[in-house]
Amino acid sequence: MSGDPTYTDYSSEDLLVIISFGEEELVARNAAFTQFVLRFREPLLKACELKCKYFGNDITDAADIVQNIFFQVLKHQTFDKAKSKIKDTEQAVLAWLRGILKAEFFKYYFPKKKFEIEDEIEIIYGAFQGGGYKLIDNKKYLGVQHQSIINALNTLTEKERAVYLTYREFSSIGEYLPRIVRQAMTEELGLTSSSLRVYHLRAKQKINQSLENK
């Protein structure tokens, strides 16, 4: 099927197309999948380890969670560029993977909560618009800003932090959490849906206030 059995020169989208052939093209599927894993495993693993660490979870969970992400890619390859709002295909693949990462991270710690198809689609395609971000490129400045956001988060109570960071993770384009995540949060924190929103609003105000006063 290919002159390049390692598929190193293939775009990530093309690798996903080959992966979707499944067992009908087993050798090609496995080679493309291997290349896809090698391409994305390190950034996913680093991000996951750090998130585990910040949230007080066992950092060795990160490898399990990332393996689960690629397992989902292998078994249920659903990437569809046409559904993505992001023009750049590589960025779109990354956003799609990030959606799976969020879902798998959540599922790992809330195994009894079953994501429904529409939840996953909402997370994968709705939670990220992409483009237009003017990022900080000065390391010294970034260090100061990084410390500011850490300090701001430290002004929140534990519940407020959990609510705030969950909203920021899952609802970057609005104020709505996927239903299943909202349910898990309310059960876990002993809050109603409306008090969850109040906690979020209060946390946002505290963060803004802290950043203004820095």
Partner 1 sequence: MNTLFEEDKIQSLLAVSGLIFPRTTEEIEIFNQLYKNYIFQNHPSLVDPEMILRMTAPYEKRVIRKLSKSPLQLEINEGLQMAARGSTNIPKDIFDKMKENQAKHDNLQ
Q: Please report, as residue ranges, which positions from 103 to 142 form the binding site for partner 1 (by CB under 8 A).
A: 104-105, 107-111, 128, 130, 132-137, 139-140, 142
201 binds partner 1, rule: CB under 8 A = no
* Interaction residues for partner 1, span 155-174 (CB under 8 A): 158-159, 161-162, 165, 168-169, 172
5 binds partner 1, rule: CB under 8 A = no
Name residue 28's amino acid: A
Identity of the residue, 82 or 135, whose beta carbon is nearer to partner 1 in the bound complex: 135
28 binds partner 1, rule: CB under 8 A = no
Q: In angstroms, what is the minimal distance from the CB of 158 to partner 1?
A: 7
Q: Please, which contacts does 99-103 make with residues 24 or more away whose CB atoms are closer than 8 Å? A: 99/123, 99/124, 99/125, 99/127, 99/128, 100/69, 100/72, 100/73, 100/124, 101/44, 101/47, 101/48, 101/65, 101/66, 101/69, 102/127, 102/169, 102/170
Q: In angstroms, what is the minimal distance from the CB of 55 to partner 1?
A: 5
C-alpha R_g of the chain? 19
Q: In angstroms, what is the minimal distance from the CB of 138 to partner 1?
A: 9
